[in-house]
Amino acid sequence: MQRMMITDFDGTLFRSDRTVAEKDLESLRRLGEQGVIRVIATGRNLYSFMKAAPADLPVDYLVFSTGVGIARYPDPADNMIREASLSHGACLYIKGVFDSFGFDYMVHGVVPEGHRFVYHRHTPENPDFDTRLSFYDGLSEPMNGSFSGPASQFLAITREARASELFASVSEALADFTVIRTTSPFDGTSTWLEVFPKGICKSEAVSYLAEQCGVSSSHTMAVGNDYNDEDLLHWSGQGFVVGNAPDDLKASFAAVSDNDTCGVSEAIGRWAVTSA
């Protein structure tokens, strides 16, 4: 019986001090020794993930940009399995919707250039937007009215307090695409709204990968911390959220310790017991 373990990265495996605990690394190594397939499913693009990941990260596959890309690990850039993109026409449509909402947004290039992007802003002050621009210093440029596409994703950053209502409105306006809401990994409060090709999400990408590896969803477990993990947690045979997840997610899934106290290792231990 082949099994698969999937973990989110930021706020789940990745700690507040921007490191991965040795205990969690050892838990992943032991899974590998047991023949369990280990997968990272992250919202980060390939460049951003490789910039943050420890050199000795013991995993087998990487799902990045929320499912836009799937690759073998290590050396994912040279071992791409699948990638997706938004067409020129789709980009123009999404741009029009984002402009109508007055969003500050970024449009990322297609894989493997997903770390490069153009951006447009409607508001003079958006600290989280500025932080992300600084993170990608030298890799972005203002849209200046011209945009050709295609793209891997759109990303709007907003400080709007009514995040749930805003997410619902944007999802309705972009019903032909996948719209995902997540919390900023930078300031921990701003809402990010990401738009991908229809059907692209963590659960779809991991489901595709599991089928290729001959793994049933009932023989999988997933650990996450935010709303962009919710579909994956529902899909997996057993879903866990770390203690720093929003309260409504902790009410829906089994909760473990937070990301700073090795919640991933706790989830692996509990899964090993229940699946034995």
Strands of 90-233, DSSP E: 104-108, 117-120, 140-142, 153-158, 178-183, 191-196, 220-224
CB 200 within 8 A of CB 178: yes
CATH topology for 88-196 is 3.30.1240
Task: For the chain, 276 residues long, give each residue's pLDDT as a single digit of tens.
Answer: 899 999 999 999 999 999 999 999 999 999 999 999 999 999 999 999 999 999 999 999 999 999 999 999 999 999 999 999 999 999 999 999 999 999 999 999 999 999 999 999 999 999 999 999 999 999 999 998 777 789 999 999 998 888 889 999 999 999 999 999 999 989 999 999 999 999 999 999 999 999 999 999 999 999 999 999 999 999 999 999 999 999 999 999 999 999 999 999 999 999 986 765
Residue 52's alpha-carbon distances to 9, 20, 48, in angstroms, are: 10, 10, 6
The topology (CATH level 3) of 4-84+200-275 is Rossmann fold (3.40.50)
Task: Compute the distance between CA of residue 187 and CA of residue 157 in angstroms, rounded to an integer.
Answer: 11
- Could you tell me which residues are beta bridge partners of residue 195? 154, 179
Segments making up each domain of the chain, as ranges: 4-84+200-275, 88-196
Contact yes or no for 171/199 (Cβ under 8 A): no
- Is-contact 193 212, C-beta < 8 A? no
- The pLDDT of residue 143 is 94
pTM of the shown model: 0.91
Backbone angles phi, psi at 38, to 5 degrees: -110, 130
| Residues forming beta bridges with residue 39, ordered by sequence position | 6, 61
**The predicted structure's pLDDT at residue 161:** 81
- What is the three-class DSSP state of 198? coil
| Burial grade of 222 (CB within 10 A; 0-12, 13-18, 19 or more) | buried
* Strands of the chain, DSSP E: 4-7, 37-41, 61-64, 69-72, 80-83, 104-108, 117-120, 140-142, 153-158, 178-183, 191-196, 220-224, 238-241, 254-255
Q: Can you give the pLDDT at residue 130?
A: 98
CA-nearest of 149, 120, 121, 140 to 48 is 140
Q: What is residue 153's predicted lDDT score, i.e. its pLDDT?
A: 97
- Report pLDDT for 276: 57
Asked if domains 4-84+200-275 and 88-196 share a fold, the reply is no
